[in-house]
Chain A
Amino acid sequence: QKEVEQNSGPLSVPEGAIASLNCTYSDRGSQSFFWYRQYSGKSPELIMFIYSNGDKEDGRFTAQLNKASQYVSLLIRDSQPSDSATYLCAVTGDSGYSTLTFGKGTMLLVSP
């Protein structure tokens, strides 16, 4: 059974701070990793994807991947109240196909 674990939160940070969201996965053969943001009552929207070990930056967002530790994280710099949402970590397997296993998500609350 493939598992993706996330702290459910809520993670509370003040506006302007760095929010750090973490995710661990059980399938050592996982190849692709995605972060989605889901506002309450809405559908998930892609924030970032990462395939290789290391860091990947896109604006205020940085994804970090460590395959040896089976760990992926998302950093949000200069957090804004509009970043308040649930962040979903999703991981593919080793089949080469887009079969995603999702974590339960971490709720982020950014206070003004």
Chain B
Amino acid sequence: ETGVTQTPRHLVMGMTNKKSLKCEQHLGHNAMYWYKQSAKKPLELMFVYSLEERVENNSVPSRFSPECPNSSHLFLHLHTLQPEDSALYLCASSLNFRDTDTQYFGPGTRLTVL
């Protein structure tokens, strides 16, 4: 596998379920990101991890819980979601967390909350 991978690619869950999204990067990067992309809205940054430490949390509801066990893996744990949380969730990574570092995106997980 190369680049940034995400699993699962599609997920349908009920509002009472608990699920996790997984992201893995094979680029040797030190920063990883979670974004949400909803229809008709710009990409929204959710969380940033730099060297496995959370450095950004953009007022995301607590029903979304990130985890970064090492610099190659990033998880987004989901529980008691709402239908409006249905969206494409994108993971990205960059060499470091500097503004000149390009972010590379994974293929995304299409989440549907029933």
Binding site for B on A (CB under 8 A): 4, 31-32, 34, 36, 42-46, 49, 51, 88, 90, 92-93, 95-105
Contact = CB atoms under 8 A, between A and B. Distances in A.
Contacts of B106: 43
Tell me if A's interface is mostly helix, strand, loop or mixed.
loop
User: Which of A46, A96, A98 has the most chain B CB atoms closer than 10 A to its own CB?
Assistant: A98
Contact of B99 (A4, A42, A95, A105): A95
A104 B42 contact: yes
Interface in B36-71: 40-43, 45, 48, 55-56
Contact of B100 (A32, A44, A88): A32
A95 B98 CA distance: 9
B43 A44 contact: yes
Given A43-B105, A99-B48, 11 more contacts: A34-B102, A34-B103, A43-B106, A44-B90, A90-B43, A96-B99, A97-B98, A98-B97, A98-B103, A101-B42, A104-B42
Nearest to B108: A43
Given A104-B41, A104-B42, A105-B42, A97 B105 contact: no
B37 to A, nearest CB: 9
Contacts of A34: 102-103
B44 to A, nearest CB: 8
A98 B98 contact: yes
Contact of B45 (A44, A95, A100): A100
A76 B35 CA distance: 27
